Amino acid sequence: MENDPTPKADKTRHRHLAITEPSPWVRRFAPLIAGQSVETQSILDLAAGGGRHTRHLLGLGHDVVATDRDTASLDDLKSDPNVEIIEADLENGNPVFSGSGPLAGRTFKAIVVVNYLFRPLMDEIFSALDPGGVLIYETFARGNEAFVRPRNPDHLLKSGELLKLAEGRLQVVAYEHGIVEAADIEGVKQRLCAINDLGESERDDDEPAPHKVMPS
C-alpha cells in the first residue's frame, strides 16, 4: 500500500471541515451575546474553517466577520449582507489586529474561537473584545496526544491556560477542562466563556454583575 502523500496538517483540516454542526459549547453560550450592550454589532469567527459557527451565528440574527487562511468553504455565504469574509494567514508573522493587519483597529461584540490555537495572537484576541463583549473559546489541551491530532504542544493548551489569560481581564462565566467523549472530535478540551465587563460595576465592592450560566 502506498503512503498517503497528504500532509498531516491538511488531513486534520479536512477532518475539521467535514464537521457541520456547531460546537455544543458555542451553541450553549451564544445566547449570552444577545444580552450584552456593546458598541459594535459584529461577531468575529476566528479561524472559521468550514463556517459552521458563522452559519449558526447568522441564524441567530448576528452580523459575522469570518476569517481564515482558506475561505473557499465560505463561498456560498459571499452574497449574504450580514457576513464579511476575510481571507488571511493569521500565522505568517504579520500583524492581524494592528498596523496594516486584516483586522487592524477593529473590535467585536463577541469572538468565537474553536479548535484553533496560535499563542502569539492570544493577547490581541482578548484586546479586540468590546466592553461587554463575549469570548467563547474551545480548543484542545495537553493530554490530547493520546487521542487524534493535534498532538503538537504548540497547539495544545496547558492546564488552566485560558483561565490565566482571562484573570484580571474578563469575568469568567464558565470553564471546563478534561476529556470530552461526546464531541465532534473526541479528545482533551479546554473551554471558556468570559465577558469583558470587569470594569463595569454598580456594586459597592466593584464586582461585576453576574451572568446567567446557560443550561447544557
Give the range of the structural domain holding residue 176, as residue numbers without chain letter.
8-15+22-38+91-106+113-195
DSSP collapsed to 3 states, 118-178: CHHHHHHHHHCEEEEEEEEEEEEECCHHHCCCCCCHHHCECCCHHHHHHCCCCEEEEEEEE
pLDDT tens-digit profile of 64-105? Answer: 999 999 999 999 999 999 999 999 999 999 899 999 999 999
Mean pLDDT of 31-40: 77
- Inside any domain, residue 124: yes
Q: How confident is the model at residue 3 (pLDDT cuts 50, 70, 90)?
A: very low
- Inside any domain, residue 117: yes
Mean pLDDT of 158-179: 96
| Spatial CA neighbour of 193 closest among 168, 162, 216, 215 | 162
| Spatial CA neighbour of 174 closest among 134, 117, 133, 213 | 213
Domain total in the chain: 1
